[in-house]
Amino acid sequence: MLKQVGFGHHRSFRKLKTLPKCPRWSFEKETLLHALKDCPTERTILFIGYLDNRLLVKKYDRCIDWLEDAMRVLDKKAAANFIIVLWNNWNNQNNFILKGKEDAAQAVWDKAKSLRHDFRIYNLVHDLIIHATPICERWEKPMKGYTK
């Protein structure tokens, strides 16, 4: 029963020790905010991606505050691109920690750009999940002779 609720063997991963220092740059404390914004490689990638400089310069205590400010400043398309770039930054860090392989900032940016382009093509080809204009669906009485 516990396995059905989600208490399987994969829970042991939660007991892995976290790194007290940034493995790349030896900052004294590695946080999510540092990993996404303050690490020099990630900062370079965000700078290449034309992120507003005030989001990089301003100090934040929590990652969610930084993300909220970014969503206030960026329009819808830029916010989607921003999330794709953050995902690629995170993936680059995982590759460095787990495989010892790190891509250059420009290479990470190019991967994010091609991924963004692929999503754009997919969104143009396929129907939207949620339509831009709401469709009013209401019950209509069936015509005479039809039964459900």
- pLDDT tens figures, 83-119: 888 888 788 877 777 787 877 777 877 777 777 766 6
Distances (CA, A) of 104 to 13, 72, 124: 29, 29, 31
In the block, tokens 């989001």 appear at: 55
Query: Which is nearest to 37 in space by CA: 82, 75, 78, 4?
Result: 82
Q: Which two tokens stand for residue 60?
A: 């934040």
Question: For the whole model, what pTM was predicted?
Answer: 0.53
Q: What is the pLDDT of residue 14?
A: 47
Q: What is the pLDDT of residue 115?
A: 76
Give kind and range of the element (H or E) at residue 43.
helix 40-48
The amino acid that residue 72 corresponds to is: R
DSSP one-letter code for 130: S
pLDDT category at 13 given cuts 50, 70, 90 is: very low
If one compares 125 and 101, the residue with the highest pLDDT of the two is 101
Give the integer Cα–Cα distance in Å for 64 and 46: 17
With contact defined as beta carbons under 8 Å apart, do 83 and 119 qualify?
Answer: no
pLDDT category at 12 given cuts 50, 70, 90 is: very low
Degrees to nearest 5, angle at CA 101 with 31 and 22 = 20
- Rounded to an integer, the average pLDDT of 3-26 is 51
pLDDT category at 2 given cuts 50, 70, 90 is: very low
Q: What is the pLDDT of residue 86?
A: 80
